[in-house]
Amino acid sequence: MASAKIKAASSQFLQLSSSISEIEWVEKQLPSQTEYYEDLQKKVQTKRDDLEKIRKKIKEFEGINFAIKKLFATLTFQNEEMNYSTIFEKGQEEKALLTKLENELDEATQTNKMLFSKKQQLDTLRSKLYQLYDSVFTGITPEFPSEDALEEEANSLYAQFNQVDSDLNRYKKAIEYIESAKPKLHEAIECLRNALKYNSWDLFSNSTIANFFEFKALKDARNYSKQTQEQIDKAKQCIPEASRVGELNLTQEKFVSNFMYDNLFMDIHIRSKIEGSLNKHSEYSRDLDNVHVWLQENVTKLTKIYSQMHEAFFKKRQELMNERKRIFESVLGISNHTSTSSSLPLPTAPPFESFKHEDESFSSDYAETSGASIRYNNILGIDPTNNNFLESHNDHDETLPSYDEAVRQSSFDIK
């Protein structure tokens, strides 16, 4: 029975709650202290810059230009010595202010270190308290149906949150591969253009040198095409929905056969091959740009959904932890006035290690976020058992087309 477990864990609960309440103040003080510390850093740097400018002016007076400045001051009836004294005194004042600010910064640094240490201690204590809750509320607890309901909702949101995170990472990784492929494809296109120039030279001169450079350019183009294809294949592994991105195959004749049968007809034949490959690669480059934009747009939308799901999950988890705390206090006879710990705040990290009831339906569990129900499967149109591209049904977002729908559009017509 959960009640018996609660009573058995009462001493640990009271000890952790008491320790937490003793250092909870750090959460209110740390933000303002950090802001003060960062402001001091800026002031110290500004004062150092000002002092450096004054030091440069003093060096000008003390340098070889001093005699010239003194002569100029005499001719213009100015007191050069007075100017020097003024700058020197200003430098001393700035130096004193800088010393004062640096001392304040040292104190603020020590205070910040102490507060961060306390914050880490607070997070550790809360983590232990959450683990205690998880160990007590293991399995279904008929005594506390409200806790079971909240836990089921939290589990559902956690699974959906993980799905969002996984999808977002897949698309980001695919973008990295696409961005790596694009410059290699551009190099291949440039090599094909060079090959076409050498072919023109060969047509009119029948030059062996032109022939050699022509096939060297084609060889380089083939290597760049191969590297491009490798990156595209990696992107396809991340996003199976991008399977319609075509294969890059650069065809060329062998150098030896071309050298042996080097004539006008062979040169024209090779030229047609080069032009065909160049057109194909140029078209492929445009398609690759479209795919890149397509991925970026969906990463932007996924990032927004990720943020919403992150907030929704932790809000629901906070509700669950507060409910568990209320149950502990109720069973142990601790009133709200004598409770040793205030309402549990939002966790700073996702320690979600032992939740039960992996919910596979996602049918009715949701979290209220900005007045909108967040259900990841419904938002994105994702079925965890298939790899169809994400769709968005969020009232605040435009609908994301499926990949099959997207590729039917002219801008996503990938060969």
What's the confidence (pLDDT) of residue 376? 40
| 260 shares its domain with 405 | yes
Whether residue 229 is contained in a domain is answered as yes
Whether residue 141 is contained in a domain is answered as no
Share of the chain above pLDDT 90, in %: 37
What's the confidence (pLDDT) of residue 294? 87
- Range scoring the smallest mean pLDDT among 182-191, 294-303, 315-324, 390-399: 390-399
| 51 shares its domain with 188 | no
| 256 shares its domain with 341 | yes
The mean per-residue pLDDT over the stretch 182-207 comes to 85
pLDDT by residue (tens digit) across 249-305? 444 444 333 444 456 677 687 788 888 888 888 888 888 888 888 899 989 999 999
Mean pLDDT of all residues in the chain? 75
Among 85, 115, 136, the domain boundary falls at: 136
What's the confidence (pLDDT) of residue 402? 37
Question: Six-digit token pair at 322?
Answer: 């507060």
What's the confidence (pLDDT) of residue 262? 57
For residue 159, the enclosing domain spans 146-415
**Given a cut of 70, is residue 89 above it in pLDDT?**
yes
Place of tokens 């006879």: 333
| 131 shares its domain with 155 | no
What's the confidence (pLDDT) of residue 245? 52
Closest CA to 14 of 339, 367, 395, 364: 339
What's the confidence (pLDDT) of residue 389? 30
pLDDT bin (cut points 50, 70, 90) of residue 317 is very high
Whether residue 215 is contained in a domain is answered as yes
| 155 shares its domain with 103 | no
Whether residue 210 is contained in a domain is answered as yes
Looking at the structure of the chain, the number of domains it has is: 2
Closest CA to 25 of 110, 122, 117: 122
Q: Which residues contact 338 (CB under 8 A, 6 or more apart)?
A: none
pLDDT by residue (tens digit) across 195-252? 888 888 777 777 778 778 888 888 899 899 889 989 988 988 888 776 555 555 444 4
Among 136, 171, 199, the domain boundary falls at: 136
Among 136, 161, 195, the domain boundary falls at: 136
Backbone angle region of 112, left / alpha / beta, with phi > 0 → left and psi within -120 to 50 → alpha: alpha
Task: Tell me the one-letter amino acid at 200.
Answer: S
**Given a cut of 60, is residue 184 above it in pLDDT?**
yes
What's the confidence (pLDDT) of residue 377? 38
The mean per-residue pLDDT over the stretch 100-104 comes to 90
Separation CA 248–CA 371 (nearest Å) = 48
**Given a cut of 90, is residue 14 above it in pLDDT?**
yes
What's the confidence (pLDDT) of residue 173? 94
What's the confidence (pLDDT) of residue 385? 35
**Given a cut of 70, is residue 100 above it in pLDDT?**
yes
Contact (CB, 8 A) for 262 and 383:
no
**Given a cut of 70, is residue 344 above it in pLDDT?**
no
Whether residue 103 is contained in a domain is answered as yes
| 261 shares its domain with 353 | yes
This prediction has a pTM of 0.60
| 261 shares its domain with 407 | yes
| 268 shares its domain with 400 | yes
